[in-house]
Amino acid sequence: MKMRILSYIAGLILGLSLLSSSAIATEKKPNILFLLADDQRPDTIRSLAGNERIHTPNLDALVARGMSFTRATCSYPICWVSRSEIMSGMHGWETGTSGGGNFNDGVKFWAGTFKEAGYDTWYVGKWHVRTTPTKAGYTEVAGYYRGGGGKWWKDQEDWKGFPVTGYRGWIFQSEDGKTKYPELGVGLTPDISSKFADAAIGQLKKQSDKPWLMQVNFTAPHDPLFMPPGLEEKYKTEYMKVPENFLPEHPFDHGNFDGRDEALLAWPRSKHAVKDLLRVYYSVVDDLDAQVGRILKALEESGELENTIVIYSSDHGMAVGSHGLRGKQNMYEHTINVPMIIAGPGIEAGARSEAQVYLRELYPTTCDLAGIKTPEEVTAKSFAKVLTGKTEKHNADIFGYFTNSQRMIRSDDNWKLIYYPLKEYWQLFDLNSDPWEMSNLAGAPQHKDRFESLKKRLESWRKKQGDPLLAE
């Protein structure tokens, strides 16, 4: 009798153990939805920046249910380098892409890591890196948009009649490029954000018992700017406000003075021209917000919202009249800072974080949140502990770089040093008292110790990271 009872108890324990193991094995990991804008300033989300001149209700709602980062940073403000860093979790000098080249051998891509962990990995939208989605680990591609439609291209003019220089001949196509879809438009079109949203919604409607990672890459609000349908009268030029750091011209050649982006706005910049630019720029962001809303609604209707980590950001910011600049090839806050909102299970709703984080750190961060081992090749650091409330700090110093013309360090206590190697020129800003970066303190005797400390840390980072300029 005693033996039968012991046998029954042992069987019961074994059964419970197997049941528990089965439950753990079948517990679904969180989905990851990454929505990435292109050239979006960090002050263009109404509730996040207190900008009452723009309407972004869907992003405002995401801010309310997630954590927003006020010092999220793009370290290299150009599309392909920033996106290469995001996909690899590595610095551009490590990936080989900072000069526009192909990825070095041995890169472990974000999507590939999640694919190996059992995820479906989906890519939607603009493709602007030196590989293919399949090689980067994506299992499916939709709304795929890249160059290759030259034979259908017809010269365009933007909203103000300037000849279009961006996205010339870009076209929707199959991943192998053999099938093109000119009927969806060649180059940017006024309604292009809705086409990316359509493709993303199509993916969300697919039935799968696997968790998934989906990256949706918009082109908005990158130039050329066109007025989105239905928004022609919403924003008025006279209602716009030029940035606090507006200048007619940048005071010196920062390394991209004659670049394509800068040619999009006549010199000297006038307040009226910048206001009119902002009218259209805000309209494009407004439309982008509406398309994000459509995607999030589809996510909710799929029943997966509560099990999905939603990330919204941009590959970099944009000057749009600040400091006398139009483009993004600079180290100022309006450009290296990006909007970043992360919402999902375990993340405090409505939280704000001043932690200094990089875009490329999203890769190891999502690995930690999903319980996936981050590959050893990934050099970026996870900030998952910030998201889960275990710490408020992350990077003590953050660094930026652009070609051979700019290097930057920003400290956790909000001091910033920018170095221009081609000019041997320095800028020092106290962002606490001068958030618009208008007063250069580099030559001020009372800040000599601060200057030297930041300079030393910047030089140390350049040596450790392998700055190509130091090898010349």
Residues 269-323: tens digit of each pLDDT: 999 999 999 999 999 999 999 999 999 999 999 999 999 999 999 999 999 999 9
pLDDT, mean of residues 392-397: 97
pLDDT at 19 over 50: no
Domain 404-472 belongs to what architecture?
Answer: 2-Layer Sandwich (3.30)
Q: Where in the chain is the domain with CATH 3.40.720.10?
A: 28-395
pLDDT of residue 294: 98
pLDDT, mean of residues 152-173: 92
pLDDT of residue 99: 75
Share of the chain above pLDDT 90, in %: 86
Q: Where in the chain is the domain with CATH 3.30.1120.10?
A: 404-472
Assign a CATH topology to domain 28-395.
Alkaline Phosphatase, subunit A (3.40.720)
Mean of the per-residue pLDDT values of the chain: 92
pLDDT of residue 288: 98
pLDDT, mean of residues 171-184: 95
Residues 101-130: tens digit of each pLDDT: 788 888 999 999 999 999 999 999 999 888
pLDDT at 6 over 90: no
More confident residue, 25 or 66: 66
CA 335 – CA 291 distance, rounded (Å) = 23
More confident residue, 7 or 336: 336
Which range has the worst mean pLDDT, 16-20, 83-87, 245-249, 443-447?
Answer: 16-20
User: Computed over its alpha carbons, how large is the radius of gyration of the chain?
Assistant: 24
Residues 316-334: tens digit of each pLDDT: 999 999 999 999 999 999 9
pLDDT at 445 over 80: yes
**pLDDT confidence tier of residue 234, bands split at 50, 70 and 90:** very high
